[in-house]
Chains A and B, each alone.
Chain A
């Protein structure tokens, strides 16, 4: 098996101090390998989003170490000054509410990520159209986000997450707003991305309908990871 792209060792994260202190993550150790689709589940408030944000370098942990794509990025402190640059190149985000920029049309929403990474507009557009085609929404390329259905918007958002060929895709409840058929379609897409592009996909979900779509599901309870359940993919 390939070396993991995400490696967490004894990562802890707490919010607040004293009586209001919340231990959102306790001693979490986790490996995610390229080409796999991994689920994170657990009760509300168990720390799923916190874990995803730590992996996405949006939240700074309080202890432990973290490697992304083999690079040690956290060891008691951030080791890279340019976390946004790291996110831009290595990590793609998919949100429950799509978060498409309302003032850009579909293909521009995808291309923006590519231009931020330094591509010319022409190249970024070509890449965006290729991804929209790949995800089956090329016919909606000129639509504004407000005109897209939930499923279409979600696929545009996935295309944007993939624009810079990230090693890691992080998705926080990407199917919560979709019916089971569309939720399944999104999971199929993420699976396709993982296998064809060797991307590590981490999905937070409450959605029992899609539990059978993961290579592994990690269960979080009170900030701690419980025994890993392997699933037949």
Chain B
């Protein structure tokens, strides 16, 4: 005869209501972990999609994902000419707000050279960019259809291809255009003063050809580390291997998100602990007389501890299962990508069980202090 289950059955409504509340909390925890995983996947997605070994950026900077990085465009030819280089492509990144079908869309516009590293990876629909002007490839999350036109800056672009799961670390969809279009866009969108400045510089140096990074694909067997050391000797340039670039990205972008999400997750778990603890405590107080009676009849302490701990565990188990089911059923409706990894769920489940044990402590303490003689009074 399981006393814990019998007692739960006796107060089923209250128990299930508590579980419902807890399941929402635990669901939020799961969702936040999922958002964090999604964030990592998303923000690394763009960097990984380039499929290169080395990133060449402005000297003394950590690259375009961490800070402003400006590299003269003609460096691409110099780097492409280096020994060991299979291909090199210059890229420009720019956050753009575009008006589309009456709504404002935030996009990350990537300017890349045709058939060079950095251009859009394989499209899920449509084709690659073939013409040097006014064609775009958009991520499906931008909500653009093939053949549709979108105005970026002063120019109108035709969507010729679609990609999937390519977004900036902030969640903004990525749109690819040619480097040339991107440089024009950069110029168009710059504040008037900066534009005049740039125009003067152009008149002096004859070029507005600035890019944010040069992506280098090496020949098989060439050591990226060694190539990076070579480039580091160049003036005004720094270089990172793909792995280093990913680490920089996760440090600068993801680290803060990790801390925020970690903080909220811990807070929610503390709140869950307190809720479970209080509910188990009140359930124990409500059962004071029953517990005294059990002790009086001769029930050993372990039966009474078992009663309380099992109820706490049941509460955690049901709430977790309900929360996980809820998130699984609704994760398509979230505004951010949710990546639910079984390992995370298992870890959280373990934490929830520990939380239940901690939370039942107060109830157990109270129950053990109940005097069996109190069952006799009135």
Bits for B251-295, please: 1 = Cβ < 8 Å to A, else 0.
000000000000000000000000000000000000001100111
Chain A residues with CB below 8 A from B9, complex form: 103
* CB <8 Å contact, B7 and A103: yes
Most buried by B among A85, A86, A112: A112
B47 to chain A, nearest CB (A): 58
* CB <8 Å contact, A99 and B293: yes
- Chain A stretch 101-150: residues in CB contact (< 8 A) with chain B: 101-104, 108, 111-113, 115-117, 121, 124, 144
22 CB < 8 A contacts A-B: A58-B296, A59-B373, A84-B295, A85-B300, A86-B298, A87-B298, A93-B296, A93-B375, A95-B293, A95-B376, A96-B378, A103-B6, A103-B7, A103-B290, A108-B6, A112-B3, A112-B294, A113-B298, A115-B1, A116-B303, A121-B1, A172-B376
Chain A residues with CB below 8 A from B111, complex form: none
Chain B residues with CB below 8 A from A121, complex form: 1
* CB <8 Å contact, A88 and B375: no
* CB <8 Å contact, A101 and B300: no
Contact of B300 among A53, A84, A96 (CB under 8 A): A84
Q: Bound state CA distance, A97 and B300, in angstroms?
A: 23
* CB <8 Å contact, A101 and B1: no
Q: Bound state CA distance, A103 and B7, in angstroms?
A: 5
Contact of B296 among A87, A103, A104, A115 (CB under 8 A): A87
Bits for B295-310, please: 1 = Cβ < 8 Å to A, else 0.
1111110010000000
Q: Bound state CA distance, A26 and B297, in angstroms?
A: 27
Chain B residues with CB below 8 A from A172, complex form: 376
**What residue in chain A is nearest B4 (Cβ atoms)?**
A103
**What residue in chain B is nearest A101 (Cβ atoms)?**
B290
Chain B residues with CB below 8 A from A99, complex form: 289-290, 293, 296, 375
- Chain B stretch 340-378: residues in CB contact (< 8 A) with chain A: 372-373, 375-376, 378
Chain B residues with CB below 8 A from A89, complex form: 298
* CB <8 Å contact, B299 and A84: yes
Contact of B376 among A49, A87, A108 (CB under 8 A): A49
Chain B: residues with CB nearer than 8 A to chain A?
1, 3, 6-7, 9-11, 289-290, 293-300, 303, 372-373, 375-376, 378
Chain A residues with CB below 8 A from B373, complex form: 53, 58-59
**What residue in chain A is nearest B301 (Cβ atoms)?**
A84
Chain B residues with CB below 8 A from A144, complex form: 10
**What residue in chain A is nearest B300 (Cβ atoms)?**
A84
**What residue in chain B is nearest A88 (Cβ atoms)?**
B298
A125 to chain B, nearest CB (A): 9
Chain A: residues with CB nearer than 8 A to chain B?
49, 52-53, 56, 58-59, 84-89, 93, 95-97, 99, 101-104, 108, 111-113, 115-117, 121, 124, 144, 160, 172
Q: Bound state CA distance, A116 and B1, in angstroms?
A: 10
* CB <8 Å contact, B1 and A112: yes
Most buried by B among A58, A97, A144: A58
Q: Bound state CA distance, A88 and B373, in angstroms?
A: 15
Contact of A160 among B290, B297, B303, B375 (CB under 8 A): B297
**What residue in chain B is nearest A87 (Cβ atoms)?**
B298
8 nearest A-B pairs in the assembled complex, by CB-CB distance:
A88-B298, A103-B10, A87-B298, A103-B7, A99-B293, A84-B298, A58-B373, A103-B6
Chain A residues with CB below 8 A from B10, complex form: 102-103, 144
Chain B residues with CB below 8 A from A104, complex form: 1, 3, 6
B290 to chain A, nearest CB (A): 5
* CB <8 Å contact, A101 and B294: yes
A216 to chain B, nearest CB (A): 22
Chain A residues with CB below 8 A from B290, complex form: 99, 101-103
A48 to chain B, nearest CB (A): 11
Chain A residues with CB below 8 A from B289, complex form: 99
Chain B residues with CB below 8 A from A56, complex form: 296
**What residue in chain B is nearest A163 (Cβ atoms)?**
B297
Chain A residues with CB below 8 A from B6, complex form: 103-104, 108
Contact of A108 among B1, B294, B372 (CB under 8 A): B1
* CB <8 Å contact, A95 and B297: no
Given contacts A53-B373, A103-B290, A172-B376, contact A88 B297 (CB under 8 A): yes
Q: Bound state CA distance, A87 and B300, in angstroms?
A: 11
Q: Bound state CA distance, A102 and B299, in angstroms?
A: 16
B378 to chain A, nearest CB (A): 6
Q: Bound state CA distance, A86 and B295, in angstroms?
A: 12
* CB <8 Å contact, B376 and A116: no
* CB <8 Å contact, B1 and A111: yes
* CB <8 Å contact, A58 and B372: yes
Q: Bound state CA distance, A99 and B375, in angstroms?
A: 7
Contact of A53 among B3, B7, B297, B376 (CB under 8 A): B376
**What residue in chain A is nearest B6 (Cβ atoms)?**
A103
* CB <8 Å contact, A85 and B298: yes
Chain A residues with CB below 8 A from B294, complex form: 101, 112, 116
Chain A residues with CB below 8 A from B3, complex form: 101, 103-104, 112
Q: Bound state CA distance, A76 and B376, in angstroms?
A: 25
List 8 additional contacts besides A53-B376, A95-B376, A99-B293; criterion CB under 8 Å. A93-B296, A93-B375, A95-B375, A103-B3, A103-B11, A112-B294, A112-B297, A116-B298
